[in-house]
Structure 1
């Protein structure tokens, strides 16, 4: 399921490192709904089958803040499992008209609405990013390297997908998957105080329809449940 959550900010600004604030919002509403459900997602560090993106109309960027043209901001969230979608639906509905701190600002949940999902019927899909794709190569317990959406990065991305999804889908199907960049652009973002490169744009994925559906609903790349890798279908 996909949802749009509309917020109204007290001030027309948001911190650059804003994704962590929306993770706090998600943790908060799940905790208030059912602490066991919150623990299901966040008690251990594991892959979560959802992704989200944040939309706002920016006017000016600084090192610490983004100044906006309006007080409106939207959270788009996509959840793979129907069961998990029901948890999120109930948790989000309980947050309507409640206010949440976001650094030195405050945001109020105005409305929540479900979005129509698109159906994948072929083994080839052109995706457009809704939030940037992070490709993380873990070099050691304390060191990682983030790649661009290029030949080397795509090898790392595919390797990560095989490792992360091998319990959900046959390895044969994962290995046969191909990813082709069309119009991808590199940018630098800040997340939890750390700057690293990410990629946004349009790309094609060829592969098993069930795997393509999973990527569409749960995101692609590293940190998908932390505001990265949410995609929409162009064709």
Structure 2
């Protein structure tokens, strides 16, 4: 399920760490529309099986502040879980036309929510572009520290595939491991970017790439994102 959420702002300035503000809008709506689902999603360290990206009109980055050409933005939301998608659609409808805090310098109003039609992937080789950067995170449970890898680093593909297996084994079963290992990532035009998220500087990958693999996996990545921290606005891709 894919949503396009058009929003208005009261100011043309937003914080560089804006993804957390988008999450707060979703949480505000979900807490009112379905308190039980809100507690399930945000009451602990639950894996978020959705992704989103934010379109900013001609942004100018100035340290901790981003200045926009217009006082608006568009949130693109995607999930492979139809039930979860309906819950977030209802959550955003619940706050539609209401003025919500977005930062100390701004407020946001959800104006329009559209369900976007999706075309299923039937090929085993597809070119994609990122709508939000792909995060490859290696989490050390003992030290509780994270290390982030971008596309050109040697460990990137192995860690990404390991993370994909942990994310997808419950949904698709143990056999998914072989299909994930068989995935081929081919760079077309990828660059490194560093994004601020929850005051953390995250190294990630942005651009165009080709992916060869089972169509059910390629469909899942388009529908629900790829990589880590998807629920914080990373890993959203579309076909090109």
Normalised-by-shorter TM-score class: over 0.9
Counterpart CA distance in 2 for 1:23 and 1:134 is 17
Shift of 1:77: 0.2
Q: 1:76 aligned to 2:76?
A: yes
User: Is contact 2:185–2:210 with CA below 8 Å preserved after alignment?
Assistant: yes
User: Is contact 2:92–2:110 with CA below 8 Å preserved after alignment?
Assistant: no
Shift of 1:200: 0.6
Residue range with higher mean Cα deviation, 23-32 or 171-180: 171-180
Aligned to 1:190, which of 175, 196, 199? 196
Counterpart CA distance in 2 for 1:176 and 1:60 is 40
Counterpart CA distance in 2 for 1:31 and 1:143 is 30
Counterpart CA distance in 2 for 1:179 and 1:127 is 11
Shift of 1:168: 2.1
1:208 matched residue in structure 2: 214
Runs of 4+ in structure 1 deviating by more than 4 angstroms, as ranges, are none
Counterpart of 1:201 in 2: which secondary structure?
strand
Shift of 1:46: 2.4
How many residues get paired? 234
Counterpart CA distance in 1 for 2:239 and 2:140 is 32
Counterpart CA distance in 2 for 1:154 and 1:100 is 40
Shift of 1:132: 0.6
User: Is contact 1:118–1:233 with CA below 8 Å preserved after alignment?
Assistant: no
Counterpart of 1:77 in 2: which secondary structure?
strand
User: Is contact 2:136–2:228 with CA below 8 Å preserved after alignment?
Assistant: yes
Structure 1 residues without counterparts, runs of 5 or longer: none
Counterpart CA distance in 2 for 1:180 and 1:24 is 35
Matches within 5 A, 1:20-169: 20-104=20-104, 105-140=106-141, 141-150=143-152, 151-169=154-172
Counterpart CA distance in 1 for 2:207 and 2:56 is 17
Q: TM-score, normalised by structure 2?
A: 0.93
Which whole-Å deviations, capped at 9, do the CAs of 1:98-117 have from their partners, x for residues lacking one? 11101121011111111121
Counterpart CA distance in 2 for 1:163 and 1:210 is 17
Shift of 1:152: 2.3
Shift of 1:164: 2.0
1:226 matched residue in structure 2: 232
Shift of 1:196: 2.2
Aligned to 2:185, which of 179, 185, 190? 179
User: Is contact 1:2–1:116 with CA below 8 Å preserved after alignment?
Assistant: yes
User: Is contact 1:161–1:221 with CA below 8 Å preserved after alignment?
Assistant: yes
Residue range with higher mean Cα deviation, 179-188 or 158-167: 158-167
Shift of 1:7: 0.8
User: Is contact 2:135–2:235 with CA below 8 Å preserved after alignment?
Assistant: yes
Change over 3 Å in CA distance of 1:43–1:59 after alignment to 2: closer
User: Is contact 1:98–1:108 with CA below 8 Å preserved after alignment?
Assistant: yes
Counterpart CA distance in 1 for 2:79 and 2:98 is 23
Shift of 1:92: 1.6
